[in-house]
A and B are shown apart, each in its own frame.
Chain A
Amino acid sequence: MDLSFDLLGNAIVSGILLGGFYAAVSIGVSISFGMLDIVNIAHPAFILLGSYIAYIANTWWGVDPILASVVVLPAFYLLGVGIYSIYEVSFERRGDTSLRGLAFFFGLLFITEVTLVLVFGVDYRLVEAPYIGPSLHFGVIELPLRLLVPCLVSLAMLGTLQTFLSRSFLGRAVQAVAQDPQALRLMAANPTAIKRVAFGLSIATASIAGAVLIIIQPIEPSIGRDYIGRIFAIVVLGGLGSISGTLVAALTLGIAENLTATFYGPSWSPAVAFGILLLTLAVRPSGLFGRA
């Protein structure tokens, strides 16, 4: 283990950038699990969908992946609305969310992955953009633009969401529906409609997350599974439903993972997230920032 300052410093910096990206990947589940109590383990599949769409746009029409993801944002939103409608009718109304609701999302995850394999095959796909490749240098610290740009985009997305949730009426209704659906009804807002909006937003974030994912790393259909652990570790550690908590937890995970990969080898990385998750569940299930 070569504890040189350069290596350590760069590992931490990259970890921070990675963490920013992880926040984008997790924010959707922070909304669906944290605020709506919907365990959408299929979220990584939707992110991958976004990645492949960005890939197509980039390869066929030379469009910048992030731009492409913004364009398809409404489609993802509608997808989320549609899925929530099915979920609500099939499971929430029947009160069967824990077993069958979970199995539903598990099935969706699986169907998406297999379909992507059938359509795109298992080869790695990547995109091309002017910011993939060059790095900024600050002394011994290197900031790859490949990591920096996604991190900045993620922060922008999180900032937008936070503003929406705390300033707009719709946003505050979303926060309210998590805490007190009854009061929401008294305000003449329909909780189901609000939840639809929230879940739609949750899936919409997957569009952007997918674009930044394929910028950071080449993709193939099965990598979604690597992200389930990361996402839930972050969401649980950060405290359900807290955006700032999600960010802090994501940064923590990014740094922890990168340090592990740098000093112990990348084959241990998948265990870091899940290890953190199991630890959090065992020791402090409400997370760092969460309400009990």
Chain B
Amino acid sequence: MSDAALLEVNGVGKRFGGFIALADIEFAVQPGERVGLVGPNGSGKSTLVNCICGTLRNEVGSVRFAGQRLEGKLAHERTRLGLARSFQLPRPFTTMTLAENLRVPILYAVNVRAGHAMVDVEGRCNDLLRMVGLAEKAHRLPRDLTQIEMRKLELARAMASEPRLLISDEAMAGLSHGEVDDILALLLKLNEQGVTIIMIEHIMRAVLAFSQRLIVLVAGRKIADGDPQAVVRQQDVVEAYLGS
């Protein structure tokens, strides 16, 4: 593991009762990298995200972020360190407008990092909304949004905490071809701005277009990790996930 790695997952394992959800997960992500994470349903991708971000606790192994061990750190502490995630099923704050939704990470993550100095909350909210194209709906409630708009809000809220690493959990699921391109462009732009991104998706053309590196998870284990074009030609990957 290189010392400069932003995220290090070392031998992480997680079980639910008798069911082993994750075993021996080991990989590192470099600053600025674009990593794709794929695998069949139930292979443990979301569990892995939850363990990295602190929503679940892994019994085995450890996670390091920016050199710091994350053991014992609650989810909100990890967010404050610069680790953000979007939820597979969007979880907006339903009684708040879009702008108010974005204020939360700014107030509670960015603000704290800045030592409670005055932060231009309104300004940053507007910038984020403009970036995802939701500026006109700033004062609407999440229930007024379409499917793709919800996904964008979800990503925008994750971005509002100004993370160094963003994990995008199936943001493109169920979207149309054009909408997929929309999200893809957004993620690429974020990466250009310096955000390291782990993209979890099933839509292979997007994954291949996006990733510099591809990790494959099957039944809780990592079976591949490397150049996307090489990985998709691997025998075991084809058998377990892609199909012939």
Q: A167 within 8 Å of B by Cβ?
A: no
Minimal beta-carbon separation of A95 from chain B (angstroms): 8
Q: B17 within 8 Å of A by Cβ?
A: yes
Within 8 A of A (CB), among B1-49: 16-17
Complex: A291 Cα to B16 Cα, angstroms:
10
Complex: A292 Cα to B16 Cα, angstroms:
8
A261-292 interface bits toward B, Cβ cutoff 8 Å, 1 = contact, 0 = none: 00000000000000000000000000000011
Q: Which residues of A contact B17 (CB under 8 A)?
A: 291-292
Minimal beta-carbon separation of A100 from chain B (angstroms): 14
Within 8 A of A (CB), among B112-146: none
Minimal beta-carbon separation of B40 from chain A (angstroms): 18
Q: Which residues of B contact A291 (CB under 8 A)?
A: 17
Q: Which residues of B contact A292 (CB under 8 A)?
A: 16-17
Total A residues in contact with B, Cβ cutoff 8 Å: 2
CB closest residue in chain A, given B17 = A292
Q: Which residues of A contact B16 (CB under 8 A)?
A: 292
Minimal beta-carbon separation of B210 from chain A (angstroms): 31
Complex: A292 Cα to B17 Cα, angstroms:
8
Complex: A89 Cα to B17 Cα, angstroms:
35
CB closest residue in chain A, given B16 = A292
CB closest residue in chain A, given B94 = A95
Complex: A291 Cα to B17 Cα, angstroms:
8
B52-89 interface bits toward A, Cβ cutoff 8 Å, 1 = contact, 0 = none: 00000000000000000000000000000000000000
A171-211 interface bits toward B, Cβ cutoff 8 Å, 1 = contact, 0 = none: 00000000000000000000000000000000000000000
CB closest residue in chain B, given A95 = B94
Minimal beta-carbon separation of A241 from chain B (angstroms): 15
Minimal beta-carbon separation of A138 from chain B (angstroms): 42
B132-169 interface bits toward A, Cβ cutoff 8 Å, 1 = contact, 0 = none: 00000000000000000000000000000000000000
Minimal beta-carbon separation of B143 from chain A (angstroms): 11
Minimal beta-carbon separation of B232 from chain A (angstroms): 31
Minimal beta-carbon separation of B95 from chain A (angstroms): 11
Within 8 A of A (CB), among B147-198: none
Minimal beta-carbon separation of A93 from chain B (angstroms): 14
CB closest residue in chain B, given A291 = B17
Within 8 A of B (CB), among A122-156: none
Minimal beta-carbon separation of B109 from chain A (angstroms): 26
Within 8 A of B (CB), among A44-70: none
Minimal beta-carbon separation of A177 from chain B (angstroms): 21
Minimal beta-carbon separation of A242 from chain B (angstroms): 14
Minimal beta-carbon separation of A152 from chain B (angstroms): 35
Minimal beta-carbon separation of B56 from chain A (angstroms): 11
Minimal beta-carbon separation of A90 from chain B (angstroms): 18
Minimal beta-carbon separation of A77 from chain B (angstroms): 34
Minimal beta-carbon separation of A162 from chain B (angstroms): 22
Minimal beta-carbon separation of A12 from chain B (angstroms): 33
Interface residues of chain B, those whose CB is within 8 Å of chain A, are 16-17
Sort A-B residue pairs by CB-CB distance and give the 3 closest, nearest first.
A292-B17, A292-B16, A291-B17
Interface residues of chain A, those whose CB is within 8 Å of chain B, are 291-292
**Contact sample, A vs B, 3 pairs, CB 8 Å cutoff:** A291-B17, A292-B16, A292-B17
